[in-house]
Amino acid sequence: MKGFEKEYFQRFEFTRDQVERYFKNALRDLEIARKDSIPEVKFSYGYQALIKAGIALLAHVGQVRVRGIPGHHVKILGKMSEILRDDDLMMVGNAMRMKRNDDFYGGGTIVTEKEAVDYFRFVENVLRKAAKRIRRSGRAV
């Protein structure tokens, strides 16, 4: 795996409990997305779950804390894609990020029910992979 850029990531020794809390936070958002039938809510909480799972994965694998600066979501997605060896993660995750940004900063966007379900399934699959990676070493979750 490539190095961690200092402007986006800061070295930090995470405990097992800290990583577990980060990942449980991602799972909580995923559960909200699962239960809600409003497409925008399902999408929004699914995206949040994806990014939070990335933060947990980076804390676990890289022992790095993510800095909240412009562009950090792209970096999280890129590192997740590397760690989980999943090129689709960067592509689909970035499409979600751009849709979310268009909604936030571009005057809004419409998320269809089909899109919301498809993105939710994608995020659910990524979180399964992340959980396996974190559990494999016995450090968390």
**What's the CA gap between 26 and 88, in Å, rounded?**
20
Which residue segments constitute the domains of the chain, with CATH numbers given?
9-136 (1.20.120.330)
Examine the pLDDT at 42 and tell me if it is beyond 80. yes
Res 106: pLDDT: 85
Query: Burial, 86: exposed, middle or buried (Cβ in 10 Å; 0-12, 13-18, 19+)?
Result: middle
Res 135: pLDDT: 85
The pLDDT tens digits for 67-119 are 999 999 999 999 999 999 999 999 999 999 999 999 888 888 899 999 999 99
Q: What is the CA radius of gyration of the chain?
A: 15
> What values do phi and psi take at 11, rounded to 5?
-60, 140
Confidence tier at 18 by pLDDT (50, 70, 90): very high
Res 25: pLDDT: 97
**What's the CA gap between 75 and 68, in Å, rounded?**
11
Place of tokens 């970096």: 75
- In 3D space, the residue among 85, 31, 75, 82 whose CA is nearest the CA of residue 55 turns out to be 75
CB 4 within 8 A of CB 62: yes
- The pLDDT mean for the chain works out to 93
Mean pLDDT (whole number) for 119-140:
86
**What's the CA gap between 1 and 16, in Å, rounded?**
22
List the single range of 39-43, 60-64, 104-108, 109-113 with lowest mean pLDDT. Answer: 104-108
Q: In the chain, pLDDT over 70 holds for what percent of residues?
A: 94
**What's the CA gap between 42 and 117, in Å, rounded?**
8
